[in-house]
Amino acid sequence: MTHAEARPFDVTHRSVFKIALPMTLAYISTPLLGLVDTAVIGQLGDPALLGGIAIGAVLYSFVFATFNFLRSGTTGLVAQALGAEQLREINTIFVRALLTAIVLGLLVILVRDPFISIGLKAMGGSEPVSAASSVYLSILVFSAPFGLANYVILGWFLGLGKAGTGLLLQVLLNSLNIVLNVTFVLGLGWGIAGVAWGTVIGEVVTAFIGLALVLRHAGYGNWPTFAVITDWTQFKRLAALNGDIMVRSFVLLFAFSFFTAQSARHDDIILAATAVLMQFLSISAYFLDGMATAAEQLAGRAVGARWKPAFTQTVSVTLKFGLILSVSLALFFWIAGPFLIDVITTSQPVREAARIYLFWAALSPIAGVLAFQMDGIFIGATWSRDMRNMMLVSLVVYLVSWWLMKDALGIHGLWLALLIFLGARGASLAMMCRVRARETFR
């Protein structure tokens, strides 16, 4: 790499926060939607409807988690094109990803009947709960093409570093859903179907507004030809990147599902306490994901610009702020944890059990901060194969650690194994980061 090929730029504290802060606010706004949906249906006084929306939300979240690569993969590729100042390629990436999202969304609609049937059987709800879930999912499934398109639109804006626009779209989506759900359920009396239709309409409106914003930002003279869009080589690159990210997401999902399943093998009290403490991990993720998103955009831009100083600054600044944030979260959970536990559950046995394992939950942000940050770096740099492989290695470390400690330490050993898993992910990716950075910026 010669100096003439590089496109220098600086990574500052301000540039990191310009992305991290809006996206943290966007991620935090998401659980509010689930809370409002539950509260609205709860006003109807039918437990089967509450169970139906809970199971339906889990099944549909599984679909969206599977295709989350549309957001992160788009962010990494667009950030690299931005760094290389390839304006037409920025728009080409958007069109390819959008076409992929629409095709996948239509496939979800086509397989909706077997998906709903198999999913409900796997969840094992009662007949009234399954009936309510079926109504909910049979409507909600029509939001899939638009919801996946919103992933692409959000990823495109994040790749350009326009996190403020990303925040605007997320707030718009969640606000529309809340207003429509309240109107349809409490105002028009549509029941659980009202929640589903509110979500569908919210996704559709947000997708069209997001598309209008893309057209406004993209520039009308920078759109690629049909031949460029359908370049099979680039589609294969996109598929390989997205496939690696999808495998990584599945392994992560399995790791936490295994953790919950092992808790359930003890007794219902331990399972309930685990469910309470897992909320602390979710809160940590909402905060640390904002910093990881900043790492995605800035690392990707540095790779595209072939400018190693910016890449090094990205790693350094995002890690520094991530550590400060993770330690602050750990202290908050340790001090306020007993109060939060009492707010979440009224069961005294569950409260007592959760307090016993609070120490481990409080340590989780510190154990996982490097993994979150490195995920952002690797997604931005599109080093997806290494991210996938290190996730698999960390899973083996996790399972072996649990097996060695399960008899001697019980649930404490399970929690310790989970923290080892988080730490192994971060440490292994950090070691690979040095290697890949030397190769990329030669």
Paired tokens of 55: 């199971």
CB 250 within 8 A of CB 395: no
CA–CA separation, 397 and 399 (whole Å): 6
**Distance between CA atoms of 202 and 181, rounded to whole angstroms?**
10
* Closest by CA position to 199, among listed 170, 178, 214, 224: 178
Q: Which residue is associated with the tokens 């904002």?
A: 290
Q: How far is CA 21 from the centre of its chain?
A: 16
DSSP 188: S
The token pair that represents 437 in the structure block: 């950075």
Instruction: Give pLDDT, residue 271.
Output: 77
In the numeric block, the tokens 């600054």 are attached to 313
| H/E stretch holding 178 | helix 163-182
Q: What's the CA gap between 123 and 132, in Å, rounded?
A: 13
pTM (predicted TM-score): 0.85
Would you mind telling me the total number of residues written for the chain in this entry? 442
Phi-psi category of residue 267: left, alpha or beta, with phi > 0 → left and psi -120 to 50 → alpha: beta
Per residue of the chain (442 residues), what is the pLDDT tens digit? 444 477 888 888 999 999 999 988 887 766 666 656 666 766 666 666 766 676 777 777 777 777 888 888 899 999 999 998 888 889 999 998 999 999 999 998 998 888 878 877 776 656 777 787 788 888 888 988 999 999 999 999 999 999 999 999 988 998 888 889 888 888 888 887 888 898 899 999 999 999 999 998 887 667 777 777 777 777 777 788 888 888 888 888 888 878 877 887 777 788 778 878 887 888 888 889 999 999 999 999 999 999 999 999 999 999 999 999 999 999 999 999 898 888 777 778 888 988 999 999 999 999 999 999 999 999 999 999 999 999 999 999 999 999 999 888 989 999 999 999 999 999 999 999 999 999 999 7
Query: Cα dihedral sign for 321, 322, 327, 328?
Result: positive
Residue 87 DSSP one-character state: H
202: left (phi over 0), alpha (psi -120 to 50) or beta: alpha
pLDDT of amino acid 4:
47
DSSP per position, 192-225: HHHHHHHHHHHHHHHHHHHHHHHHHHH-TT-PPP
**What pLDDT, on a 0 to 100 scale, did the predictor assign at position 1?**
42
Residues 338, 418: Cα–Cα separation, whole Å: 21
State the pLDDT at residue 31. 60
The candidate with the shortest Cα–Cα distance to 63, out of 144, 151, 121, 130, is: 144
Give the pLDDT of residue 171.
87
